[in-house]
Chains A and B, each alone.
Chain A
Amino acid sequence: MNLFMPSVALDPIHQFKITKWLDFSVGGIDLSFTNASGFMALGVILTIAFFGFAASKGQLVPTRLQSLAEIGYGFVADMVRGAAGEEGLKFFPFVFTLFFFIFFANMIGMVPYAFTTTSHIIVTAALALLVISIVIGYGFYKNGFKFLKLFAPSGAPFIIYFLLVPIEIISFFARPLTLSLRLFANMLAGHIMLKLFAGFTVALIAAGGAYVVIAPFAFAMGVALNALELLVAGLQAYVFAILTCVYLNDALHPAH
């Protein structure tokens, strides 16, 4: 134990700890409602409240909030259309939900003392697997075995296929891995950094003497990181959604 601070305040990992709010299990499986579930629910409620309120107005001349929701709608619609074409719009509700689910989770995570749902790999991995399952499922449903053309792009010399096909297969199955790790690692590392610099500032001040002089620099760094993390929170939601669109495009048009 540190002399001047409780270790909880300085431990950068503590913020990712799961605590049970409501303990319950079904058939021996622990399905407790935890702080992670709570903040996830908060994100969902905020998303529904925001868009529900904006949509319920439906005015011809939009209010500010309605306009904001409509910009979000247009933003995701353009993203889907741009990456997966007009046919991709049948996945628009899914991509929209995915984007704003992650976006709100990330943004809630930026609030001090809030839990960041997307900083747990099980969540990001589940989302990535959901995406890739839809890609594979819809790819076979729509194209049948022609979907496998995805692994053998046409136009290469025959010999090259011995090299090309394994590479394509590996790159395809690396997708859920990279998709989930990118979001998870970004949120995790970002929040550790924030906590470290904030804790460092406090520790420096508490240490007293000449350390106090350095403290403002550490604090400024924390502020700058906060801005950066805000950007990352938005950006990673966008990256996740746009990559989803790109992968869906493969399911829609496997032969490129």
Chain B
Amino acid sequence: MLIAFLAETAAHGAEHGAAGKPPFPPFETWHMPSQLFWLAVLFSILYLTMSRVILPKLSDTLEKRSDRIASDLDQAARLNDQATEAQQALELRIAQAKAKARETSDKARGKMDAEMAAETARVDAELEKKLAAADTRISSLRADAMKNVEQIAVDAADVIVGRFGVSASKAELKKAVTTAME
């Protein structure tokens, strides 16, 4: 039966030929003008639609997209630059602020040192003055005391000399005491 099928298929083709029919549609000629005509019409329609309407639109879209991507990348690069710049500016400002802070603290310390020195000097001077005053007072007191001691010594000497029964003038006594004290 299989062989019969194959034989039948072959015979079918032969039968066409035998019946005078063109055996093979692609080589038939009656439809060729119509094929050419419709091919020309349809291909032209397709070509015109593509070249006039669709392809320009597609290429426009693609161009727009690539432009957009390029401009976006540009903008990204620009923003990146700006960010870097801002960071540098920030760092600079931080450095400046640090320097300023150091300067301020240095100045404050210097001022404080100077004030402290001035205060110390002032107090020192005051103390010295007080010391000097005290010294003068001490020496004046001592002088006073010494004067009293002389008077006492003169009086004592007068009394002692009186006991011995000798009278002496005040000047003599004073002279003797001064001589003894020196």
In the complex, whether A166 has a CB less than 8 A from a CB of chain B is no
Contact A93 B51 (CB under 8 A): yes
In the complex, whether B149 has a CB less than 8 A from a CB of chain A is no
Given contacts A13-B25, A69-B58, A70-B61, contact A97 B34 (CB under 8 A): no
Given contacts A93-B50, A93-B51, contact A31 B34 (CB under 8 A): yes
Give the contact-size bracket for chain A. 35 or more
Contact A2 B8 (CB under 8 A): yes
In the complex, whether B165 has a CB less than 8 A from a CB of chain A is no
Residues from chain A with Cβ under 8 Å of B13 in the complex: 11, 13
Contact B62 A207 (CB under 8 A): no
A95-128 Cβ-contact flags toward B at 8 Å (1 or 0): 0110011000000000000000001111100110
> Interface with B: A51-59, A153-161, A238-246, which one?
A51-59
Contact A34 B58 (CB under 8 A): no
Q: Which residue of B lies closest to A214 (CB)?
A: B2
> Interface with A: B39-47, B96-104, B138-146, B153-161, which one?
B39-47
Q: What are 16 pairs between A and B in contact, CB < 8 Å?
A: A10-B5, A32-B34, A33-B38, A41-B38, A47-B46, A52-B54, A55-B58, A73-B55, A94-B47, A126-B35, A126-B36, A130-B43, A203-B5, A207-B1, A207-B5, A211-B1
* A-B contact sample (12 more), CB < 8 A, given A31-B33, A31-B38, A58-B64: A2-B4, A10-B8, A30-B30, A33-B34, A52-B54, A55-B61, A70-B61, A97-B47, A126-B35, A127-B39, A184-B26, A207-B5
